[in-house]
Amino acid sequence: MTDQTLTNRDWWRGAVIYQIYPRSYQDSDGDGIGDLRGIIRRLPYIAELGAEAIWISPFCKSPMKDFGYDVSDYRDVDPMFGTLADFDAMVAEAHRLGLKVIMDEVISHTSDEHPWFKESRSSRSNPKADWYVWADSKPDGTPPNNWLSIFGGSAWQWDTRRQQYFLHNFLSEQPDLNFHNSDVQDALLDITRFWLERGVDGFRLDTINFYFHSQGLEDNPALPPAERNDQTAPSVNPYNYQDHIYDKSRPENLGFLTRFRALLDEFPAAAAVGEVGDSQRGLKIVADYTGGGDKVQMCYAFDFLAPEKISAANVRKVLEDFGRVATDGWSCWAFSNHDVKRHASRWGEDEADPRAYLKVVSALMMSLRGSVCLYQGEELGLTEANLAYEDLRDPYGIRFWPEFKGRDGCRTPMVWDSKMKGGGFTTGTPWLPVPAEHMAMAVDTQQGDPASVLEHYRRFLSFRAAHPAFAKGEIAFLAAQGDGVVFTRRYGNEDIICAFNLGAAALELEIGMSAGSPLAGHGLQGSADGTRVSLPPYGAWFGRAA
């Protein structure tokens, strides 16, 4: 470890994290599936982009029913991705390049092929009988309650050996662990220690608010239609019809998270970011899980990952609501990830100038108070792939096709070289097709072109790094109209005014204070005169407050 790693426990605050979906990033052996050696090859690209950390989606041993989010061995790398030696080499190279390494830790559930579950289901009296959530049927043989799986249908699966139901919030092949059992917590913390001692700098905690369930197994109440939204599940999924107050987001989780944080604090600079999937209480949960300094350092909710298009009013509401409920909490903002339709298509496809739109919304995200998570390919402006049914691999999309096409469209391979078959991702046949339209957006077509989305990301990340107020500063919104978003970021003696136009028409904004002197280096167009800021379509202006 470097001296900086030893002293900078606060590295995560305001960090820019680059998410890698390993199946689709870079294949090193021609089997059509990305791997750890492929990631090693591309780490310089990420460092040159300006990211400070990488988050790698699951690579532990798994039968891949949910592509690694169903773990069968927490202490080993799945052979399709490589070996533990490859992992060690990847961590060493990342650290050499100044990058932190965050791994996806999936501990709310395991694979049904995990040895723990095999033992648990063997009888009602074995040593691990209570390691998963088991319950008797109702007298008529139906499931214990009305809880639903995010992947469709009941969250309960009948097991013929125990003649009981087990809980699965996702696929039936992903049985939920019983966090009310302290032995389960101890085992999971021991696994966390294993990876920390191996050199990881932190964890992305999958479905962090799903760890505990109500032991009373009460039915969830119905959610009025007016209160339903599709932040956590697609609108075609009846999961949205319930208020999930008994099957997740339980108060007992706070106690486990304090245990988790105590383990992190044994290491020089370890940190964690939690994924909060709760459409009704997301920001409040983020506040609870990150406040007080004794739980996880940061979380993200689905406010900007939802289908609803980002707007000036929405940005202000989300940030001000978060500031109100989480006075000492910290969020990590993202517009795209491996679970949602890429925002280039979700928001940008109807814009007059999609490329300019992507530039301004990315600049906005990278200017907000909080940490930032970039999903591989968004720096190229990649759109959602439109795949045929026969190309689908995601069980979620296969279940709800065609109204919901699943997650494969955002998981297609990264495109590196427009002149190579498969975009330079593999010499073999890629596990998902590489869309023809992505080839024109490959890294080699954008590198060195100052007008490209890629060079915009590089330029803006450099601009962001030059001004600590973006990473560490407070945020305060100023008056704005229409598609205008204006706020200040203040840290120490630096006070920066940030103004954005999310629309296709020019804007003149009265910001109510002197705009001060402009800051250069971000590459976006705008100007200011006195207390007025002039922004062209999809423009932005940054200035040092007078």
Q: Over the stretch 418-475, which tens digit does the pLDDT of each residue have?
A: 999 999 999 999 999 999 999 999 999 999 999 999 999 999 999 999 999 999 999 9
Count of residues for the chain? 546
For 3-109+182-464, CATH gives 3.20.20.80
Distance CA(438)–CA(381), nearest Å, equals 9
Contacts 24+ apart (CB under 8 A), 398-407: 399/151, 399/152, 400/152, 400/234, 400/236, 400/237, 403/234, 403/236, 404/234, 404/236, 404/237, 407/338, 407/339, 407/340
Number of H helices, E strands in the chain: 15, 21
Q: pLDDT-based confidence at 169, cuts 50/70/90?
A: very high
Per residue in 223-262, pLDDT (tens digit) is 999 888 877 888 889 999 999 999 999 999 999 999 999 9
3, 140, 197, 266: the active-site residue: 266
| pLDDT score of 332 more than 90 | yes
Q: pLDDT-based confidence at 477, cuts 50/70/90?
A: very high
Distance CA(62)–CA(204), nearest Å, equals 18
Question: Would you kindly state where each structural domain of the chain is located, as residue ranges?
Answer: 3-109+182-464, 473-544
| pLDDT score of 7 more than 70 | no
Active site residue 183: no
Q: What is the pLDDT of residue 234?
A: 81
Q: How many CB atoms lie within 10 A of CB 88?
A: 13
Per residue in 376-419, pLDDT (tens digit) is 999 999 999 999 999 999 999 999 999 999 999 999 999 999 99
Q: pLDDT-based confidence at 33, cuts 50/70/90?
A: very high
Tell me the whole-structure pTM to 2 decimals.
0.96
Q: pLDDT-based confidence at 5, cuts 50/70/90?
A: very low
Average pLDDT, the chain: 96
Active site residue 266: yes
Strands 202-205 and 271-275, sheet pairing: parallel
| pLDDT score of 1 more than 80 | no
Q: pLDDT-based confidence at 344, cuts 50/70/90?
A: very high
| pLDDT score of 103 more than 60 | yes
Per residue in 111-144, pLDDT (tens digit) is 999 999 999 999 999 999 999 999 999 999 999 9
112, 173, 206, 483: the active-site residue: 206
Structure tokens at 175: 């049985």
| pLDDT score of 2 more than 50 | no
CA angle 519, 523, 528 (to 5 degrees): 45
The CATH architecture to which 473-544 belongs is Sandwich (2.60)
| pLDDT score of 222 more than 70 | yes
Q: pLDDT above 90 covers what percent of the chain? A: 92
Q: What is the pLDDT of residue 301?
A: 84
